Amino acid sequence: MPDNQTADVNLEELRALIAEELELPLEEVTDQADLKNDLDVDSLTAMEVAVQLEKKYRIKIDEEEIASLTTLEIIHQLVAAKVEKT
Amino acid sequence: MFVPLKGSWALIFGVSSGMGKETARALADAGCNIIGVHFDLAEGQQQAERYARALGELGVEAHFFNRNVAARQARAELVPVIRDLTSGVGPRVVLHSVAYGTLTSLLPAPGGAEDEAPAVTPQQLTMTVDVMGHSLVYWVQDLVKAALLPRGAKVFAMTSAGGTRVLPGYAPVSAAKATLEAHVRHLAVELAPQGVAVNAIRAGTTITPALRKIPGSEKLIAHCQEINPGGRLTRTEDVADAIVTLSSTDSSWLTGNVIGVDGGEALVV
C-alpha cells in the first residue's frame, strides 16, 4: 500500500488509542502484533476498539469488518482508506 | 398494590434491540422514563438515537448511552448519571437484556477441519459469561452501593430455554444464561430485606436480531411455531407486557423465579 494513502492517519496516535483501549503499554502494540493471538483480545474488546475508531476518525465500520482488525498495520490501512473516502 | 409507573425510571441494558427495545417502548407508554444502555457501531448508534427521540415523543425522558455494559468504566461513568437523572431515587425497573456472546460448540465440529469449526476458547467462554451473566451482579452491586435501588424496585434478567437445554452452537450463551439464573436467585435472597424483587424472564423463541445469529435458528423457529400451544411464536410485545405488568406493583414477594413468557412452549415436547 502506498504511503500517501495512510498519510492522513498518524500511526502513533492510532497505536496510543489501541493501547489505551486494550489497557496495554504502548510497546506491546507493535505494528505486527496480532490482537487476537498475540495480545489476547476478545471480540468484545475488538468491538470497543472499533467504536473508538469510529468516534475519533468519524468513520463507519461494519460488524463484519471487526474480525479483520488484526494488527495495528492493518487497522491503520483500513482506517486510512475510510478517512480518505469521507 | 397497583402502583402506576408514570414518572418513575427504568434502566435498560440492551435497549437498542429485541426485548430491551420493545420493553422500553412499553414502559415509556406507561409513562416511565428510560435510561438505556446499548453497545453499537456507528450505524446502530444512529438508529438507537432515533429510537430514543421516538420514545421522547411519548412524553417521557429517554437517555441512551453507547457503552460496553460489561466494562467497569461504564459503571463508573453511568452510576452518577443515573443518580442525577433520577434525582437520587434510582430506577424502579432494571432490565438486563444483553445479547453479546460467542455462538459456537464446546468441541470442534466432528470431521470438520480444526480451523473451520474450532472449539470454544477460554477467551470466548469468559467474555460471554461475563457480559451476559456476571455483568448483572456488578451493576446491582454498584447501584446498591450508591443507594440507587429503592424499596419496591424490580430487577429482571432475560434468560432463555437454552439456559437449561441444548441447542447446537449455543454452548457459551447457555452457560451464561445458567449463570444469570443462579445470580438472579442469590440476588433475590440478598435483596429481599430491602424489598427489591429479582426475577429472570424466560421468553419463548422470539424472532429478534439476536435469535437470527444463532446457527440453525430457522429450524428452531419452524419447530417452535409448530409446537407452541398458543399457535404462534413469542413476540417481543409479550415480554414487554409481562415486565410492565410485573413492575406495576409495590409488592416484592414475587422474587427469585425464572418466569416463563412463552405461551406454554417449554411445557410441550
pLDDT of residue A5: 57
- What's the alpha-carbon Rg for chain A, to the nearest Å? 12
Nearest 10 degrees: CA dihedral of B80, B82, B87, B89? Answer: -110
Question: Is residue A7 scored above 70 in pLDDT?
Answer: no
Closest chain B C-alpha to A4 CA, distance in angstroms: 26
Query: Residue B235 is placed in which grid cell?
Result: 413476540
Residue numbers of B annotated as active site: 170, 177
Domains and CATH numbers, chain A: 3-85 (1.10.1200.10)
pLDDT over 70 percentage in chain A: 92
Question: Is residue B69 scored above 50 in pLDDT?
Answer: yes
pLDDT of residue B109: 79
Question: Is residue B122 scored above 60 in pLDDT?
Answer: yes
CA angle in degrees (0–180, nearest 5) for A86-B15-B186: 135
pLDDT tens per residue across span B163-187: 999 998 999 999 999 999 999 999 9
pLDDT tens per residue across span B123-151: 999 999 999 999 999 999 999 999 999 99
Average the pLDDT over B25-43 and give the result. Answer: 98
Average the pLDDT over B176-199 and give the result. Answer: 98
Q: Do B102 and B73 touch, CB atoms closer than 8 A?
A: no
**Contacting residues of A for B39, CB less than 8 Å apart:** 47, 51
Question: Is residue B161 scored above 60 in pLDDT?
Answer: yes
Could you give the CA distance from residue B35 to residue B64 in angstroms, rounded to a whole number? 6
pTM over 0.90: yes
The helix/strand/coil state of B177 is helix
Q: Do B114 and B35 touch, CB atoms closer than 8 A?
A: no
**Contacting residues of B for A83, CB less than 8 Å apart:** none
Q: Which of B60-64, B155-159, B161-165 is predicted with the least confidence, judged by mean pLDDT?
A: B161-165
Q: How confident is the model at residue B53 (pLDDT cuts 50, 70, 90)?
A: very high
pLDDT of residue A1: 47
Domains and CATH numbers, chain B: 9-102+118-267 (3.40.50.720)
Q: How confident is the model at residue B158 (pLDDT cuts 50, 70, 90)?
A: very high
Q: Supply the ipTM of this predicted assembly.
A: 0.87
Residue in A with minimal Cα distance to B128: A44
Q: Do B201 and B245 touch, CB atoms closer than 8 A?
A: no
Q: Which of A5-9, B105-109, B127-131, B263-267 is predicted with the least confidence, judged by mean pLDDT?
A: A5-9
Query: Over chain B, what is the mean pLDDT?
Result: 95
pLDDT over 90 percentage in chain B: 93
8 Å CB contact of B68 and A48: yes
Residue in B with minimal Cα distance to A37: B123
Could you give the CA distance from residue B71 to residue B64 in angstroms, rounded to a whole number? 16
List CB contacts of A82: < 8 A, sequence separation 6 or more. Answer: A57, A59, A60, A61
Closest chain A C-alpha to B178 CA, distance in angstroms: 21
Q: Which of A9-23, A35-49, B99-113, B120-134 is predicted with the least confidence, judged by mean pLDDT?
A: B99-113
